[in-house]
Chain A
């Protein structure tokens, strides 16, 4: 049997039996209403899991008392009067491309709740689990090519369901593995020993035959072959798409400049590089998940574990984020790629008895770059201790509305829950942060 290296669209034309419009016409209808003119084609969300300290990163308080200021110093940036935490020296040099919101505020100081609020724009509710921004985007945009529309590198944080009330197929596809390793591979993307593509192709054809025969007696197609089986096949059968995951194609120098040898579980540099390769190939939403930010003890460890260590979380973030922005800019992709750096909340302004900081949702920071945003600005401000917003409080709902708007989705767009309830993309009352768009 001839190998098929074109995209299968499903359907057993030989038998005259189609698979039906399993992706649903509704989606197309919704899409036509939902789309504004997008500035950004794609979004890379750098998720700092655990809740990053705003005081050591984007909102240092050099003039505050020692117990608030913490053990690190701050540095000037290329933006007059704006300082960052001392670890963010590369970011300081590209501040003209970055916007910081220093007045994020939320009432939810628990990981799961905070993550749900930040990633979906909705406070969690027992009645309904909301989809994350990546899932909504995947739902509203038809998939281009064979790469999934919503990808997590290396794996989506298990705090949040991902697809919420939308179909599971728009949930994030976790690539798995460790992008730092030389033999990094996406799990189950390579053929099983002894099975070639021709046989997989035949297997797929047989599945479709079995299901089509079963559905034959039906007025409607009640047992359509799982569309994700076809998507999976299309992905693994497409060498060009698979190539997206081949990090070894990248020049060594660039790999190092993203940060390659980060310590511990920290693989944010290579994850960001992989994210760039994915958006380059048209993937609309990539979540880079960086863990370890829940610094209840020894906040200094965000900088380094020992004096010569340059691979703490903050320096790694600095390298990865600044290189990503430069790299996107060099490739002419920055204007169409929105990069967002955030976690579920900030940390307590006062250092605790373990020299760490606890959860603090009342005030924290988010950084954005690219995607047509106005860089070189700080939106809002916190009070002198970083405890509460001083000016222009921004809620996670407002932030979500802003991100959706930048991606060309009207926040007032209504989606349907499985039981037919219309739900807005972001909550009623959420306001776009106009300075950013």
Chain B
């Protein structure tokens, strides 16, 4: 080893004598070594507390602090200007002495040589040029099959017009390491299976995704026969064609009407509506039905419920007046089809008495300016700023200055029953240990400290060119109707978590903005697409697909919707504590209204904005309750219930079966089903026995996965 170092010394001495502009650039040469070798990763010296008393900023977010840590701390022992090869930052990563992070590079590794040269030149904070941008290639690549090597490349461009190949100093990592193998020494990616894969490329603090698309089958696929009703179908079909995924046919009309009613109104369609729709021969009946539902009071109720969840309405369980006022205000906005931009403006700028001014309750949802910043960014930007509380976001562009800058905007809000703007207020930025400067995240500082920063925030947020606002809400609306966000999770939109269909997301957001940010037109657009109307029945070849919309995704009903649907089928309303008999669960303003049934059905508390209720499985407690508890059993045979009335009218047993199928599943049973039920009934000796069997049938209908999902 000594020999190698001697040789290196000779080499580097020669270099050190060259012109000043050739000297090692701390920002552009040394920092990339630290990032590439993982020194400043969260698991090593980049963690908040550092490692082994050596603390670097996460992924080099703060080069000045890193320079101080390397050159000045522990009396400069990390750097030995007299004997550069005995500097700790050489000895440790080459494992010449014990290192918690073990062996990282040998003596003639390019990184080792670079660090040695830099120390030999005086270990100074020299920089020659400013990084402007980095281009990672390929941005997106379609290849015919897996197991093909793809060369990755990163080129840095500087403000002085120069550029440099920085591939060796770029870290490439696969989103799913079991799908793509990456050799970081040669920067070669080898996808191991079909599908759409994402590789994250990072050079210093520039991060970008690289997309690789590989067909999932070798069979050519002809999608020419697939109907396209609008741009949604164009985009979805184009990716399906690339992936060669077979496309399930359109759902039958019964399935469609049940799905549409549940998605737009949170209710099951009544039998006469179903029959009328099935009998209607009009070409445009689908569009007409969508329009009709968008005009209903049920739509207002259901979308008030949906938005209330996203707004986490009701976390303050002790203030019923506030929640009631807030809920009423929201339902008015939905009823009047007020643009979501105006809703956001009214919420963010709200002040006043929360018992009179609905939107003022927005400031009583979470407690404190930092929490408010996190809530606002998740809700309106679909971004998880909270990582940037303690360090710059490792996968996104958010810095601590962004996080605390946004929190600073809310620091003057006093959120008691009366929400008002105080004369002053601060949050401390832990990086500077001083009051944070108010800042529009990722953009600019607000200079005028006397002004209420919320106005600047709103103007920036709801401007037509804001990159987050429209996409964040459109992605949630899409997820509500399709069962999966184009970006998932819906509040984690970032460059390194790209949409499955980026162009589609852009076009939906443009469409939304062009229609005044109103939810009805965009919901109509989605519901009118052939993509939305697809069957959830899978074909051989598309069963595994859960993100490209080759078939519809079956989704569980939300707890409140399910509770209402059960009451509707039984034709006996539920009774909620302190509420009028018959009040439907989706209209309960307080998510903490005591109800064992709603708890058991898995209602959402409001600590989170409640997305992704993906599991149809309800757990043991719920199923024991279905079997032995009151939810269904106590109401199934009541004399004013649906079943008792059918018995009273001497309805024939098979007609009762038909009727219940229609009420619960919006369809009549098929011939095999009829045969099955007829045989069951035939085994019964008496009318009473038949009635017990029909009770059991009704119970089973309500407990089935079929009923519990859409």
Interface of A with B (CB < 8 Å)? 15, 126-127, 148, 167-169, 171, 173-174, 187-192, 195, 199-200, 202-204, 206-207, 209-211, 213-214, 216-220, 222-229, 231-233, 235-236, 418-422, 428
Contact = CB atoms under 8 A, between A and B. Distances in A.
Given A126-B384, A187-B624, A236-B624, A222 B692 contact: no
B1 interface: no
Given A168-B615, A235-B624, A218 B538 contact: yes
B621 A226 contact: no
B627 A236 contact: yes
B554 interface: yes
- For the complex of A and B, 8 pairs with smallest distance between CB atoms: A206-B700, A232-B623, A220-B543, A188-B624, A214-B706, A192-B633, A210-B704, A207-B700
A420 B176 contact: yes
B628 A169 contact: no
Given A211-B704, A214-B706, A224-B705, A229 B538 contact: no
A325 to B, nearest CB: 29
Given A188-B629, A189-B624, A228 B619 contact: yes
Contacts of A190: 628
Contact of B706 (A188, A211, A422): A211
Contact of B617 (A202, A222, A227, A422): A227
Contact of A228 (B542, B622, B697, B706): B622
A220 B488 CA distance: 24
B425 to A, nearest CB: 24
A419 B627 CA distance: 32
A207 B620 contact: no
A228 B628 contact: no
Given A126-B387, A188-B627, A235-B624, A228 B617 contact: yes
Interface of B: 43, 176-178, 384, 386-387, 488, 536-543, 554, 614-630, 633, 669-670, 672-673, 676, 692-693, 696-697, 699-701, 703-709
A7 B692 CA distance: 25
Given A203-B703, A228-B623, A222 B618 contact: no
Contacts of A231: 620, 623
A229 B626 contact: yes
A211 B628 contact: no
B690 to A, nearest CB: 13
Contacts of B43: 428
A167 B618 CA distance: 10
Nearest to B489: A419
A431 B629 CA distance: 46
A85 B624 CA distance: 43
B618 A226 contact: yes
Contacts of A195: 628, 633
A229 B703 contact: yes
A203 B629 contact: no
Nearest to B255: A214
Contact of A217 (B537, B616, B669, B708): B537
A226 B630 CA distance: 19
Nearest to A200: B627
A188 B633 CA distance: 12
B603 to A, nearest CB: 14
A228 B708 CA distance: 14
B704 A225 contact: yes
Which of B537, B633, B701 neighbours the largest number of chain A CB atoms within 10 Å of its CB? B537
A168 B617 contact: yes
Contacts of A217: 537
Contact of B620 (A169, A203, A206, A222): A169
21 contacts: A173-B620, A174-B621, A187-B625, A188-B625, A192-B627, A195-B633, A207-B704, A210-B701, A213-B673, A214-B705, A219-B539, A219-B541, A219-B543, A222-B536, A223-B704, A223-B709, A228-B618, A229-B703, A232-B627, A235-B620, A422-B177
A392 to B, nearest CB: 19
A394 B625 CA distance: 42
Contacts of B622: 228
Given A148-B620, A173-B620, A203-B699, A225 B537 contact: no
A209 B620 CA distance: 21
B543 A206 contact: no
Contacts of A422: 177-178
A220 B693 CA distance: 30
Contact of B621 (A167, A173, A209, A218): A173
A421 B630 CA distance: 40
B614 A418 contact: yes
Given A190-B628, A199-B696, A229-B703, A167 B615 contact: yes
Contacts of B693: 202
B540 A219 contact: yes
Contact of B554 (A126, A191, A207, A223): A223
A418 B612 CA distance: 11
B111 to A, nearest CB: 24
Given A173-B619, A226-B623, 16 more contacts: A169-B619, A188-B629, A192-B629, A199-B692, A203-B627, A203-B700, A209-B700, A210-B706, A222-B554, A226-B618, A226-B705, A226-B708, A228-B620, A228-B623, A229-B627, A420-B176
A218 B251 CA distance: 12
A204 B673 CA distance: 16
A50 to B, nearest CB: 20
A213 B670 contact: yes
A126 B395 CA distance: 14
Given A200-B627, A218-B537, A222-B554, A211 B705 contact: yes
Contacts of B676: 15, 209, 213
Nearest to B553: A222
Which of A203, A210, A227 neighbours the largest number of chain B CB atoms within 10 Å of its CB? A210
B386 to A, nearest CB: 5
A199 B697 CA distance: 10
Contacts of A229: 618, 623, 626-627, 703
Contacts of A214: 704-706
Contacts of B708: 226
A112 B693 CA distance: 48
A23 to B, nearest CB: 11
B700 A210 contact: yes
B537 A189 contact: no
Contacts of A213: 669-670, 672-673, 676
B674 to A, nearest CB: 10
Given A169-B620, A188-B627, A206 B697 contact: yes
Given A168-B615, A211-B705, A226-B616, A192 B700 contact: no
Contacts of B700: 203-204, 206-207, 209-210
